[in-house]
Amino acid sequence: MIWNENKECMSVDARRELQSKRLHRVVEYVYHNVPFYRSKLQEADVTPDDIRSVDDIVKLPFTTKQDLRDNYPFGLTAAPRSEIIRIHASSGTTGNPTIVGYTRKDISVWSECMARCLTSYGITRNDIFSVAYGYGLFTGGLGVHYGVENLGAAVVPASTGSTEKHVRLLKDLGVTGIACTPSYALHLAETMEKMGIAKEDLKLRSGAFGAEPWTENMRHEIENRLGIKAFNLYGLSEIMGPCVSYECDAQNGSHINEDHYFPEIIDPETLSPLPCGQSGELVFTTLTKEGMPLLRYRTRDLCTLYDTPCECGRTSIRMGKILGRSDDMLIIRGINVFPSQVESVILSMPECAPHYLLIVDRAGNLDTLTVQVEVRPEFFAQGFDTFEPIIRLEKELSARIKSVLSIGVKVEVKQPGTLARSEGKNRFVIDNRKLK
């Protein structure tokens, strides 16, 4: 089934024309309402009138996460404060979080796009759908929630956390659809097994999974253990939240809601656009957003776009699986973690040397983060060679890191000189999760 055949199956030419019109409009809108973009466009010697079609998009400047941080909290907001009705923030970022404000129309576009995704997963108004993404500043919970309501299915706002209680609800209510991170889905399966509940005891048949990378192997495992069909759901808060792209039954890439989010692939080194079929960094321009419209936002996600026809009848461009990142961001339990965040906590403690190692692992189905850090030689000489101050330091560090990242970490304080010295980039992280 297709939620909005008009838009999802429109001819490629008609969509292009719509995108071109919308692109011109959004450039004009930010030019007049966001001083940051006005000066960027002026620097590039571009006026809104130079942007007549999507081919002109290459004339526009890029936007980065750093730009959002530099303009924290509302510097990139285009709509007047009175028009903003919802505010979300991206999980764990260095320094300032990324704040996104939505107008009433933005929320309605989001719910529309999310309803397209859910319909593609086979969800109808006859379903009972459980949202097991976190509710709160994170876009996952409320984003999917509004989509389910818009579609007309019954939404169960389970959120994350009380997993056993959730499993009981799945069974007792006869829940048929679910959305959560793929690792949480496996955690649910494990909890069911511990509780002695078999997949046959549930009515679950379809699931939407995203917010973190996952593999075909994980898909098969989720499908087997929960007895469902598992679909990909992709999104990012800067652009909207979950709903940017979604898999159909063909599962040969995720259809992008292109009439709202215009995709490009660029070479992350040279920044030149790459044709469909080549992998590079995914870039989005919001075509209809009012609260915080973004021009050519660099997602840092690496993937490939496909414009070949899809057997489902949708005509939109599809994106392949996320192959990695063009920065060093890790996604741990669905939370964005930059090694530099941990580093800045470590460096704020006089006892700690700037030698550390982050070890990411998956225990059962939950991600774990261990931080190993060396104590400075002068502190080691002054009592830090004994048990008690080390334990105290480990506790203090893990509390501080937890308050920055919002995830629990294990800290291991090491003797001076014990950690391998890193050469070059990204050597401070060992990621043992086998995602390939």
Read out DSSP for 51-114?
A: --SGGGGGGSPPB-HHHHHHTTTTTT--S-GGGEEEEEE-SS-SSSPPEEEEEHHHHHHHHHHH
Binding region for ligand ADP (CB under 6 A) out of 27-35, 230-238, 341-349, 416-424: 230-238
Identified binder of ligand ADP from the candidate list 19, 63, 77, 90, rule CB under 6 A: 90
Dig out the tokens for 310 from the structure: 């899809």
Q: Residue 347 phi/psi, 5° resolution?
A: -70, -15
Neighbouring C-beta atoms of residue 217, cutoff 10 Å: 11
Orientation angle between helical segments 339-347 and 387-405, nearest 10 degrees: 130
- The least CB distance from residue 8 to Zn ion, in Å, is 9
List all residues 6 or more positions away from 209 whose beta carbon is below 8 Å from its beta carbon.
179, 180, 181, 182, 185, 222, 230, 231, 232, 233
Q: Which stretch binds ligand ADP (CB under 6 A): 34-42, 264-272, 304-312, 332-340?
A: 332-340
- Binding of residue 44 to Zn ion (CB under 5 A): no
What the block records as the tokens of 251 is 């599962």
Question: Which of 101, 147, 334, 339 is the binder for ligand ADP (CB under 6 A)?
Answer: 334
Residue from 250, 347, 430, 435 binding Zn ion (CB under 5 A): 250
Residues 272-331 that bind ligand ADP (CB under 6 A): 299, 301, 322, 331
Site string for Zn ion, 193-232 (x = CB under 5 A): ----------------------------------------
Q: Measured between alpha carbons, how far is 148 from 175 in angstroms, rounded to an integer?
A: 13
Which residues inside 66-85 make contact with Zn ion, applying CB under 5 A? none
Strand residue runs (E) in 267-311: 273-274, 279-286, 297-306
Of the pair 48, 157, the CB lying nearest ligand ADP is at: 157
Q: Which of ligand ADP, Zn ion, none lies near 231, with the C-beta cut-off 5 to 8 A by kind? A: none
210 sits near ligand ADP (criterion: CB under 6 A):
yes
The answer to whether the beta carbons of residues 85 and 93 sit under 8 Å apart is no
Site string for Zn ion, 310-349 (x = CB under 5 A): x-x-x-----------------------------------
From the list ligand ADP, Zn ion, none, partner contacted by residue 159 (C-beta under 5 to 8 A by kind): none
DSSP SS3 for 237: coil
Binding site for ligand ADP (CB under 6 A): 90-91, 138-139, 210-213, 232-237, 299, 301, 322, 331, 334-336
